[in-house]
DNA sequence: CGTTCGATTGAGGAAGATCAATTAATGTGG
DNA sequence: CCACATTAATTGATCTTCCTCAATCGAACG
């Protein structure tokens, strides 16, 4: 059994869902520990070399705003944030979610002004770094430039993943994948994933995933019915995720039209 | 009438669609001329300071491949390219289109290997730049670093626009917006936009826009029926765009449910 | 000249949007 | 602390959009 799993892993190295869920948990534990440590290291590096201005923000407050003159990049030390763009004709769209260690404001570099709003979804700490000061510091410290480019690269790669999910997954799978990504993000920051507090309304989730709030609600109900997720005792805002692997499995099940139970 | 339009423009300053199309054309001509010149300047700068290896690629050939070890960034001197990602479970997705002056390979910086394929859609010239050589050059020349960061920033901002289109526009509008973006991209490179050769099949366009090839075909037929686009005499691959502003107007018409002719 | 691939168009069906009603959670002022 | 108002979530019924399946047509190519 173990050897079979090992063979599978060798054949499909990029596959995110090994046969044995416990195996995945153990593997991921190591990966997440390293990721969590790396985020901490980077924050420490930035803190010591740049002495960023620290700012506490509360739910609903803006880190920066569309149209505002670009001059700073922001790094999240804690909290959860959403990136919202507003089109000229009034369409509003959540285009990103940000966690501890993530950078904000890259979109401003090219245009000279930010093209979106960055909104706190709960209380958090934001570090402000002047872009020109960062560039100066990068001249001395190559490590800093590497960190910056990695952050931008990761954002580009992740946006492409989002595009893929939007284009290829049916609604139920998109919701499951959304929860999986949220749980993964928490895990990579050393946080619990068995009970997560989505700080977004169904409408916000739906907006982010390109569907209506009713469809989100139905998808969540279906996930709960299939025991892939649960709801916390108080309210249905907090989601219980017994197994992140089960979420991945649900996504795959949506894609294979073969064995659809009832 | 004119004063009414002027009032509207004042109220909605960010609106991309002035009342008088000729006005838009004249304005855009200036913007595009500057954009075209800027692209040429950047290519010249890169060429002189980095002496990149130049490589000719033909339709269907890969610039780089998913999984390949990261070491280079690529700059397009000519041609049209698509970025394709393949998920572990076999879903294939066109996640980007690239033109002269665009950079390829940013996604590789974070992971250490590219996460997608870059495929030429016709004959073009690609410049290869070693990433570490680029960083070294950036240490001496601040201008180079600015150019690099602007390119990454633009990619991030554009990915968000794509996300917004996917999430908020109905199929017909998405196709119109796709054509508008393509035309805009050509204009910014000093190329004609009244007759454009889409080097993609309906299936590829549909994949990129998150819809089926039949829906793309029907959308194009509808656009042609409404005289927003036309088809070149030979075949229906090449699209005639008498007015880019008319494409924008069509997108807006799809969004306002009010005056739907028949 | 037939073969193949891409595009178009139609008919039917399914996923998801819209509309509407109900319930649950949250907050507010008395 | 409660009655009330408000906002969020759920669920059902219906309708629209888009997908799927299928047939036809056209262009390119050996």
Q: What is the pLDDT of residues B95-112, one digit of tens each?
A: 999 999 999 999 999 999
Q: What percentage of chain A reaches a pLDDT higher than 90?
A: 81
Chain B positions touching A139 (Cβ under 8 A) are 139
Judged by CB atoms closer than 8 Å, whether chains meet at B108 and A156 is answered as no
Report yes or no: A25 at the B interface, CB cutoff 8 Å. Answer: no
pLDDT: which is higher, A249 or B26: A249
For residue A24, what pLDDT band results from cuts at 50, 70 and 90? low
Q: Which of A15, A104, A152, A161 to mutate to test the interface with B (most CBs of B within 10 A)?
A: A152
Q: How far apart are CA B84 and CA B111, in angstroms?
A: 17
Tokens matching residue A178:
């959304």
Q: Do A168 and B87 touch (CB under 8 A)?
A: yes
- Candidates B157, B167, B114; CA nearest to A165 is B167
From A115, A135, A157, residue closest to B107, measured CB to CB: A157
Q: CA-CA distance, A40 to A189, in Å (whole number)?
A: 9
pLDDT at A22 over 70: no
Q: Provide the pLDDT confidence category of residue A234 given band limits of 50, 70 and 90.
A: confident
Is some CB atom of chain A closer than 8 A to the CB atom of B68? no
pLDDT confidence of residue B11: 37
A82, two tokens? 């959403």
Q: Where are the beta strands (DSSP E) in chain B?
A: 53-57, 62-64, 72-78, 81-86, 92-98, 103-104, 117-120, 124-130, 195-197, 230-231, 238-240
Cα–Cα distance for residue pair B151/B146, rounded to 1 Å: 9
pLDDT value of position B235: 78
- List all residues of chain A from 165 to 194 with a beta carbon under 8 Å from chain B: 166-168
Residue A180 has pLDDT above 50, yes or no: yes
- Residue B234 confidence (pLDDT): 77
**Across A231-251, average pLDDT:** 90
Q: What is the pLDDT, as a whole number, of residue A7?
A: 39
Q: What is the pLDDT of residue A21?
A: 46
pLDDT given for residue A1 in this prediction: 40
**In this complex, do A111 and B166 lie within 8 Å of one another by their Cβ atoms?**
no
User: Looking at chain A, which residue has its C-alpha nearest residue B86?
Assistant: A164
Mutate to test the interface with B, among A139, A163, A206, A213 (most CBs of B within 10 A): A163
Is the CB of B164 inside 8 Å of chain A's CB atoms?
yes
What's phi and psi for B29, nearest 5 deg? -55, -45
- Three-class SS of residue A193? coil
Tokens coding B205: 């366009």
Handedness of CA B169, A63, B111, B146 (dihedral sign): positive
Report pLDDT for A31.
87
What's the pLDDT at B262?
34
* Residue A12 pLDDT exceeds 60: no
CA–CA dist B233, B228 (Å, integer): 16
Other beta carbons within 10 Å of B199: 16
Q: Does B159 touch chain A (CB under 8 A)?
A: yes
Residues with CB under 7 A from strand C: A 170-172, 210-212, 214-215, 234-237; B 201-203, 213-214, 216-218, 220-221, 231, 236-237
Cα separation, A220 vs A226, whole angstroms: 10
Average pLDDT for residues A2-22, to the nearest whole number? 41
Q: How confident is the model at residue A260 (pLDDT cuts 50, 70, 90)?
A: very low
Q: Which residues contact B94 (CB under 8 A, 6 or more apart)?
A: B82, B83, B84, B204, B207, B208
Q: Is A60 left (phi over 0), alpha (psi -120 to 50) or beta?
A: left
Find, among A183, A198, A153, A159, the residue nearest to A244 by Cα. Answer: A183
DSSP run (H or E) holding B159: helix B142-168
* Helix H or strand E encompassing B219: helix B213-225
Q: How far is A193 from chain B (nearest CA, A)?
A: 23
D27: residue with closest CA to C1': B235
Residue B159: which of A14, A156, A207 has the nearest Cβ?
A: A156
| Measured distance CA(A161)–CA(A174) in Å, rounded | 12
pTM of structure: 0.89
Question: Can you list the residues of chain B whose pLDDT is less than 50?
Answer: 1-22, 259-262
The residue of chain B with its CA nearest to that of A83 is B160
- Asked whether residue A200 carries a pLDDT value surpassing 90, the answer given is yes
Neighbours of A144 (CB within 10 A): 19
Instruction: Find how far residue A165's CA is from the centre of its chain.
Output: 13
In contact, A72 and A131? CB cutoff 8 Å: yes
Which of A91, A109, A139 is opposite residue B149, by nearest beta carbon?
A109
Q: Average pLDDT, whole number, for chain A? A: 89
Measure in Å the smallest separation between the Cα of B193 and chain A Cα atoms: 23
pLDDT, mean of residues A108-126: 96
Which residue has the closest alpha carbon to D9 C1'?
A217
A207 touches chain B (CB under 8 A): yes
Q: What is the DSSP string of A103-161?
A: EE-THHHHHSB-SSEEEESSSEEEEEEEHHHHHHHHHH-HHHHHHHHHHHHHHHHHHHH
Spatial separation of the C-alpha atoms in residues B39 and A95, rounded to whole Å: 28
């Amino acid at each position: 059994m173990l050897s079979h799993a090992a063979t599978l892993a060798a054949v499909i190295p990029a596959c995110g869902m090994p046969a044995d869920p416990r195996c995945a948990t153990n593997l991921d534990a190591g990966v997440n520990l390293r990721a969590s440590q790396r985020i901490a290291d980077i924050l420490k590096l930035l803190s010591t070399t740049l002495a960023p201005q620290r700012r506490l923000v509360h739910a609903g407050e803006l880190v920066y705003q569309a149209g505002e003159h670009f001059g700073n990049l922001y790094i999240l030390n804690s909290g959860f944030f959403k990136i919202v763009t507003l089109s000229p004709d009034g369409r509003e769209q959540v285009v990103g979610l940000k966690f501890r260690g993530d950078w904000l404001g890259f979109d401003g570099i090219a245009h000279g002004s930010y093209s979106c709003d960055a909104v706190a979804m709960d209380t958090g700490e934001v570090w402000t770094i002047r872009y020109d000061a960062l560039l100066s510091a990068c001249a001395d410290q190559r490590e800093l430039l590497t960190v910056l480019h990695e952050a931008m690269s990761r954002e580009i790669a992740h946006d492409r993943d989002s595009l893929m999910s939007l284009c290829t997954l049916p609604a139920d799978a998109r919701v499951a994948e959304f929860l999986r990504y949220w749980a993964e993000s928490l895990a990579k920051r050393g946080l619990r994933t068995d009970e997560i507090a989505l700080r977004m309304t169904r409408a916000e989730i739906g907006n982010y995933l390109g569907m209506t709030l009713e469809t989100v609600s139905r998808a969540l109900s279906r996930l709960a019915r299939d025991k892939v997720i649960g709801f916390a005792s108080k309210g249905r805002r907090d989601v219980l995720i017994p197994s992140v692997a089960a979420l991945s499995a649900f996504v795959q099940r949506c894609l294979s039209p073969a064995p659809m139970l009832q």
